[in-house]
Structure 1
Amino acid sequence: MASGTRAPGSGKTAIVSHLRELLPGWIVMDWDELIAPAEGLAGRSIRDNESLWKPYEDLVKSVSDMLAPNPVLLLGVCTPAQLATWHICEWMVLDCDDKERAARLQRRGESNEEIQEAISDAAEYRALGLRSFDGTTLTTLETAEAIASKIHA
């Protein structure tokens, strides 16, 4: 399994459909795709209830484990340290500059506090020293193509 991590506003959700087209034979999972049905089961918001974060992580891991041995690309929000027990062969960071991230998050209606938290998260991800893809000036298709080309390499 390969994993791409990102801070909010990097473009992860926007590139999923492109990656699915560009990576036939791969299962492309967005960490957030199971949130709505999981919240329905839990009867409350996962993002707003820290006590649900670990059970949600366990759910995503169970699903990704079931999909093995197929190649899986998981677009998520965790760091290598957070998922140290997962069988992930490569990590990548999807990024954009902070001005673009703030603009994207403002368009989504995020608060200034949430935007500053996302910018802080992005700085932490950059500090990990992982392979990074900067989508600031790329279209969603171009970003997906850059990631797919590295996966095929």
Structure 2
Amino acid sequence: MPRLHVITGAPGAGKSTLLRHLGEYPFGSADFDELPELDGRLLGVDIISPSAGPVWPAYNRLWVKIATMMLRAGRPVVILCPLTPSEWADAAGDVVDPPRVSWARLDCGDADRRARLAARGWDPDRIEDAIKDAEELRCLVNQEFTTTGRSPADVAAAVADWIDRQ
């Protein structure tokens, strides 16, 4: 079975923007942000607000299953998400024959993250939480793709090269 590539990143790193550029490459790709409706609900359940924390483990398990199904096509798959490796491992614990994972991190400078999230209407406390999430991910995942000062197409090309080398 081909390898699953998980690219984690705190809010504002550019995951959703990168996704639009990964379609040019011969691998499957998906983003955790694709399933919820615009109001943050999936099947009528809020899954994106901070108060939805209790349902996040089930949502994470769903994505492990989706990734496993996508790998059946016989080509590499990239999943973009905000999870840590341990959160992914917890989600994969109940999945039969979960895929092997290569990890990378999408990141940007803190000033870029603040500006991007402020443009989304995030309040300062929530932005600072995202900055802390980015700091945590920097300690957990070494392979980095930065979006600061780079075009999404350049980042997508670097990701494709990483996948080819795996």
**Normalised TM-score (structure 1):** 0.90
Whether the 8 Å contact between 1:3 and 1:88 is mirrored in structure 2 is no
* CA-CA distance at 1:40 after TM superposition: 4.2
Asked if residue 46 in structure 1 is aligned to residue 58 in structure 2, the reply is: no
Distance 1:99 1:72, change over 3 A: same
Alpha-carbon deviations, 1:7-59, whole Å to 9, x = none?
A: 000000001121111x22x1101011112298241x23212212211121122
* CA-CA distance at 1:88 after TM superposition: 3.3
Q: Within 5 A, what are the aligned runs for 1:2-151?
A: 2-21=5-24, 23-24=25-26, 26-36=27-37, 39-41=41-43, 43-48=44-49, 49-69=52-72, 70=74, 71-84=76-89, 85=92, 86-151=98-163
Distance 1:143 1:74, change over 3 A: same
Alpha-carbon deviations, 1:107-146, whole Å to 9, x = none?
A: 1111111110010000000011420111110011111111
Question: 1:147 and 1:88 mapped to 2: Cα distance?
Answer: 18
Residues matched between the structures, number: 150
Distance 1:129 1:30, change over 3 A: closer
Could you list the runs of 5+ residues in structure 1 that have no partner in the other structure? none
Question: 1:75 and 1:129 mapped to 2: Cα distance?
Answer: 14
Distance 1:114 1:83, change over 3 A: same
Distance 1:40 1:30, change over 3 A: closer
Q: Give the 4+ runs in structure 1 shifted more than 6 A.
A: none
Alignment identity in percent? Answer: 35
**Normalised TM-score (structure 2):** 0.83
* CA-CA distance at 1:89 after TM superposition: 2.8
Whether the 8 Å contact between 2:35 and 2:42 is mirrored in structure 1 is no
SS of 1:36's equivalent in the other structure is coil
RMSD: 1.7
Whether the 8 Å contact between 2:60 and 2:88 is mirrored in structure 1 is no
